[in-house]
Structure 1
């Protein structure tokens, strides 16, 4: 009897875990399809601007479909002794909410301009929570104390505020 009960409980637990995975995979697939549709949509218009800081210039890019911001990214370089780090943050939005994000660092050798390596992390987001994540290379994912949820939220809020301010000023100049 115990064996039968154990088998039944195992089937239920693994069945539930598998159904959760199928649900997550379905959301990920829908996000990927949405991303492809936005990339191909001729109604999406792209904008660029730079923010000059004390020691770096950050290139912002954002895309709008009508009045809705659907993509935001930023990129900047930091020089080190023999190499340059290029940092990139990217967010895809749907109905004003984050649904997909990437963080990327590329290390480039200054002497021959060859990429020495890098790190990239991809996030699929549903209801403001990361539901799936993939990491390639060596980077922040190896740190035990990295709070990617908080970092994504903070980066997104800052980037969105910066883009909205630029866009408001851009529209004011048109009028």
Structure 2
């Protein structure tokens, strides 16, 4: 009887875990499809601007479909002696909410301009991160990295910066 009960419980637990994974995969696939649609949509218009700091210049890009921001990204370089570190953050939005994100760092050798190593993490988001893929050595290997908080803070800051630029851009047109 115990053996039958433990088999039944195992089947239910593994079945439930598998069904959650299936649901996540469906959401991931829907986000991927949406991303392709946005990338091909001729109504999506891209804007660029720079924010100069004391030790770096950050290039921002955002895309709008009508009045809605659907993509936002930023990148900047940092000199680290023999190589450049190129930092990138990217968010895909749907109805004003982040649904997909990529963070990456690419290290490029200054002497021959060849990429020598890199790190990236890709996130699919449904209110919170539901799936993550990380490649290379970087933040994802740190036990104390709170990617949920970092993504939220980066997104909020980037969106605020892009909206402020867009507001000023529209004011100049009028």
Fold similarity call, TM over 0.5: yes
Structure 2: stretches of 5+ with no match in the other structure: none
Question: What's 2:167 paired with?
Answer: 168
What is the alpha-carbon distance in structure 1 between the residues aligned to residue 50 and residue 171 of structure 2? 18
Structure 2: distance between partners of 1:34 and 1:124? 12
2:93 corresponding residue in structure 1 = 93
CA apart distance, 1:59: 0.2
Unaligned runs of 5+ in 1: none
Structure 1: distance between partners of 2:55 and 2:5? 65
1:37 to partner: Cα distance: 0.3
Q: CA deviation at 1:150?
A: 0.2
Query: In the alignment, what sits opposite 1:81?
Result: 81
Structure 1 equivalent of residue 69 of structure 2: 69
Count how many residue pairs are aligned between Structure 1 and Structure 2.
174
Task: Map Cα deviations across residues 86-119 of structure 1 (whole Å, 9 max, x no partner).
Answer: 0000000000000000001000001111100100
Q: Distance in 2 between matches of 1:111 and 1:62?
A: 32
The corresponding residue for 2:143 is 144
Q: Extract structure 1 runs of 4+ deviating beyond 6 A.
A: none
1:50-69 equivalences in 2 (<5 Å): 50-69=50-69
Question: What's the CA shift for 1:161?
Answer: 0.4
> In structure 1, what is the Cα distance between the partners aligned to 2:117 and 2:154?
23
